[in-house]
Amino acid sequence: SPVIWWVRRDLRLTDNSVLDRAAKSGRPVIPVFVLDEVFESHGAAPKWRLGLGVEHLAERLAGIGSRLILRRGTAQVVLEGLAAETGAGAVWWTRAYDPASIERDEGVKSALTGRGIDAGSVPGHILVEPWTVETKQGGYYKVFTPYWRAVKDRDVPAPFDAPTELRPPARWPDSDRIEDWGMGTAMDRGAAVVRPWLNLGEEAAQARLAAFSGDRIDGYETQRNHPGVEGTSGLSENLTYGEISVRACWHAGLRAQEDGKAGAATWLKELVWRDFAYHLMFHTPHLLTENWRREWDTFPWNEDEQLPEVTAWKRGRTGIPFVDAAMRELFVTGRMHNRARMIAASYLTKNLMSHWRIGSRWFEDTLVDWDPASNALGWQWASGSGPDAAPYFRVFNPVTQLDKFDKDRAYVTRFLAELSDDPPAPALAFYDAIPRSWRMSPDDPYPEHPVVDPKEGRDRAIAAYGNRDF
Ligand code: FAD
């Protein structure tokens, strides 16, 4: 009987354990993507990007004589129906770790198992399963460095090749057409602008990994902090949708390290930060929605998303060039440099004293590399409410940070039209991406004063923290 490969955030043929197992079973394989309750709830940019990734995978599958069947609805209902329709005896998928997916997957598993179908998951999205890393006391890790020490020497299976063919079923079930799903509807505003910046699909991801790990990784340690240069891998978008496996990245990093590439050790650590975010999300799922440190519940956050300074933050009009360039980069490219994410998040949560959830929701709607665990951990790190977070008194100074990390102003010039007489294309592209209702023009003068002065904002935040017990 056929095997259903339930495709989710594993949009690749190479080093895909589920697909490998299905291909090697010798049984007909039916790859299925379900636009289900979890994916329907995604923000505009992630949903749009997911749709493009799914389309791309369908082309890849066609290249090996297979197909991607598309269905929409509640995962459990769709998969039960499809299994009955095709006579499938097995439904396999790559494991997910966020609470919504876990709940969905448990429901699917018990419903299918109840019908005598072999249903279950295989690891593949992260390096190390969250429950296999324990402190001496038997708990989970809350601090990165000891977590890193605990996992850095783990054996990570070497990546393997894609199957060259997949046995088709005797009859293919019907498929929806992805165009009819409108996965990019909410992305109308910026799709055309963001599209050229994407690195879509597994071949592009592999090429990027090869280029990075063969060369640029050497200078990663220092270059990664400068948003004006291409110092990082840019692979987060692909890792998010599983267009490349993190195991492939890990092994490429190890090889670079053996070749004496100086930055490789730091890059491997960053890959483990991603795993650490999953470790924490799995053990403390409230990381996604609540202050991870509960004592922060009484902090006087602004939770009003409509405040003018929050609007200015979203639109890159705070009057702080580093923050504004970051927010424009996000709108134009669907991504944001890590240093810029830290600065933009620190300014919103500390200088503006707005709740990190406001920022995390905005990122969730606009990032093409949106990842529930890394995004929540990043925000809670910046605001101080998270595990292993920046201490409350460490408020980034966005002015001195600019002098340090964008000395020649390459980054702010690239993304802020108001700062130059002859703005470059990325800075101008912002105005093609934004809704008309924002009424912004490249000829607007740059704000004379910041919405909140960094020093005053810092003092206000520290005073508010200072009145508390933590
Ligand atoms: P590289 O520097 O080349 O690193 C390689 C890979 O390691 C990345 O692709 C990523 O998967 C992982 N990684 C690197 N840094 C981190 C980190 N700090 N935390 C977790 N994983 C990391 N990353 C996302 O993938 N999705 C998000 O939604 C996201 N939101 C963030 C929000 C905030 C407020 C902050 C401060 C950080 C966030 N990050 C997020 C982490 C980080 O900024 C990005 O992973 C990184 O900028 C991606 O660029 P890159 O692929 O070139 O990374």
Query: Residue 98 in contact with residue 63, Cβ under 8 Å?
Result: no
Into which CATH architecture does domain 126-157+200-283 fall? Alpha Horseshoe (1.25)
232 lines ligand 1 (CB under 6 A): yes
Residue carrying the six token digits 């956050």: 301
Q: What is the mean pLDDT of the chain?
A: 96
- Determine if residue 438 is left, alpha or beta; phi over 0 gives left, psi from -120 to 50 gives alpha, anything else beta: alpha
C-alpha 271: how far from its chain's center? 13
Distance, CA of 368 to CA of 348 (rounded, Å)? 21
Angle at 11 between CA 289 and CA 181, to 5 degrees: 75
Best mutation site among 343, 374, 381, 394 for ligand 1 pocket (most ligand atoms within 8 Å of CB): 374
The structure tokens 């005598």 sit at 116
Could you list the beta-strand ranges (E) of 129-286.
Answer: none
Fold of the CATH domain 1-123? Rossmann fold (3.40.50)
Per-residue confidence band for 104, with pLDDT thresholds at 50, 70 and 90:
very high
Nearest CA among 69, 5, 73 for reference residue 39: 73
- Sequence ranges of the chain with CATH classification 1.25.40.80: 126-157+200-283
Written as six digits, the tokens of 422 are 């002859």
* Residue 189: predicted pLDDT: 76
Model pLDDT for residues 282-293, shown as the tens digit of each residue: 999 999 999 999
ipTM attached to this prediction: 0.99
Q: What is the pLDDT of residue 466?
A: 81
pTM of this prediction? 0.97
Q: Give the residue range(s) of CATH 1.10.579.10 domains in the chain.
A: 294-466
CB of 334 closer than 6 angstroms to any ligand 1 atom = no
User: For the domain with range 294-466, which CATH number is right: 3.40.50.300, 1.10.579.10, 3.90.550.10, 1.10.10.10?
Assistant: 1.10.579.10
* Residue whose structure tokens are 């002098």: 403
Is the pLDDT at 470 greater than 70? The verdict is: no
The span from the CA of 125 to the CA of 245, in Å, is: 7
Distance 205 CA to ligand 1 centre (A): 16
Q: How far apart are CA 37 and CA 209, in angstroms?
A: 32
Q: At what angle do helices 308-315 and 356-366 cross, to 10 degrees?
A: 30
Tens of pLDDT along 390-406?
777 778 999 999 999 99
Residues of CATH 3.40.50.620 domain(s) within the chain? 1-123
- Token pair of 406, please? 């964008």
CA distance 160 to 254: 16
